[in-house]
């Protein structure tokens, strides 16, 4: 099995003895989609020592373009308000707006973290989760009830029970649902499975123009109206049409890249990406915008996080190589014989 790394780069998974659990979760997705019939998606091991391998990042804008609703609605209804189990914050990016008593924005926190990281830590118990949450919310003191629900005792429960209960309780966890903070993605379309399914299915070469990749993607894997899916799907389709095999890079997930737009402080244009007001941490999985008097976007005071999502660029990376440069088991047509370890 490939030695999948800690996605946020803190080393906490290894310190708490949960890295192997996280690696197992991730490997199951690679293994599942590496065995899709006729897909150019393969295991990461295929690229070890391959000089011709290259990495490309597919980017898109975080704004949930398929949503019908006001910017305030999108800010508020992160989990609910759209299609069943969908919610209003889409595109593998979710955010929380913190306001002062007068309603002015203090900070906007964006996350692209996938919940498997915290699920693995839940296997180690309460202390590991408290440490993880304190890393993103300094000074936080989450309780057992907040993290697992009333009546659940993580000290006497099995590892599997702690993990499943923690995930099931995430929508009611105040450190996740916005009441006190935000940890990871929660919206029904913003999942690790969805990302793997999208890349795996879109790596099956389709007839006709590659521009139809999203429309014709197998199993409804690609959401045609989203900012993210058509870009990712077309990139995967183009690679397999070019005779390449591919995989999502390690660590798998979505990275926050930069803010676009014209930003000013007291009327003077500033480079927001190299300013005290914007920080990206946790290996590109978390971005925090700190508002300040006189800070504007497009000459307007920021009133919602959704406005900022319109200029926030995120991306996912894939590694690829010519099929004849990788081991034979990694090539199209060899799905059943691929090394599954």
**What's the distance, CA 144 to chain centroid?**
26
pLDDT in the model for residue 82 = 46
Do residues 236 and 249 touch, judged by C-beta distance below 8 A? Answer: no
Question: Please, what are the averages of pLDDT over each run of 10 residues along the chain (341 residues)?
Answer: 95 97 97 93 95 97 91 87 63 96 96 97 96 94 96 96 96 94 92 94 79 65 88 93 96 98 97 98 98 95 97 98 95 75 53
DSSP code per residue over 138-167:
TT----HHHHH-TT--TTTS-HHHHHHHHH
CA contacts within 13 A on the Cβ side of 277: 21
Integer Cα distance of 140 and 192 in angstroms: 27
Task: List residues bridging with 109 in a β-sheet.
Answer: 96, 288
* C-alpha distance across the termini of the chain, in Å: 5
Q: Give this prediction's pTM.
A: 0.94
Integer Cα distance of 341 and 327 in angstroms: 15
Show Cβ contacts of residue 124 under 8 Å, excluding neighbours closer than 6 positions. 16, 17, 18, 159
pLDDT in the model for residue 340 = 58
User: Which of 40, 29, 331 shows the shortest CA–CA distance to 213?
Assistant: 40
Do residues 66 and 265 touch, judged by C-beta distance below 8 A? Answer: no
CA contacts within 13 A on the Cβ side of 148: 24
Residue spans of alpha helices (H) in the chain: 12-15, 19-34, 71-76, 116-122, 126-136, 144-148, 159-169, 192-201, 213-216, 228-241, 305-309
DSSP code per residue over 76-109:
H-SSSSSSTTT-S--TT-EEEEEE-TTS-EEEEE
pLDDT in the model for residue 255 = 98
Tokens of 281: 């941490």
């Amino acid at each position: 099995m490939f030695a999948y790394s800690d996605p946020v780069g803190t080393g906490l998974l290894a310190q708490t003895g949960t890295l192997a659990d996280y690696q197992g979760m991730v490997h199951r997705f690679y293994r599942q989609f590496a065995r899709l019939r006729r897909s150019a998606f393969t295991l990461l091991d295929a690229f070890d020592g391959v000089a011709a391998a290259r990495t490309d990042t597919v980017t898109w804008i975080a704004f949930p373009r398929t949503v019908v609703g006001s910017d305030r609605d999108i800010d508020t209804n992160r989990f609910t308000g759209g299609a069943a189990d969908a919610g209003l914050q889409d595109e593998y990016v979710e955010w929380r707006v913190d306001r002062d008593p007068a309603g002015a924005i203090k900070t906007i926190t964006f996350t692209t973290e996938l919940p498997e990281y915290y699920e693995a830590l839940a296997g180690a118990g309460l202390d590991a989760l408290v440490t993880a949450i304190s890393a993103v919310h300094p000074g936080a003191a989450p309780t057992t009830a907040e993290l697992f629900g009333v009546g659940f005792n993580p000290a006497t429960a099995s590892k599997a029970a702690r993990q499943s209960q923690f995930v099931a309780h995430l929508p009611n966890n105040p450190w996740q649902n916005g009441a006190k903070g935000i940890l990871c993605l929660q919206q029904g379309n913003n999942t690790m499975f969805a990302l793997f399914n999208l890349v795996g299915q879109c790596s099956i070469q389709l007839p006709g123009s590659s521009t139809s990749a999203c429309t014709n993607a197998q199993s409804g894997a690609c959401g045609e109206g989203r900012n993210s899916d058509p870009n990712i799907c077309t990139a995967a389709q183009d690679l397999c049409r070019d005779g390449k095999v591919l995989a999502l890079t390690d660590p798998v997930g979505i990275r926050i890249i930069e803010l676009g737009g014209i930003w000013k402080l007291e009327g003077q244009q500033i480079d927001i990406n190299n300013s005290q007001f914007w920080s990206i941490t946790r290996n590109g999985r978390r971005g925090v915008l700190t508002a300040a008097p006189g800070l504007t976007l497009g000459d307007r005071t920021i009133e919602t996080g959704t406005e900022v999502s319109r200029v926030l660029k995120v991306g996912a990376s894939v590694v690829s190589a010519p099929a004849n440069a990788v081991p034979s088991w990694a090539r199209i047509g060899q799905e059943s014989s691929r090394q599954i370890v």
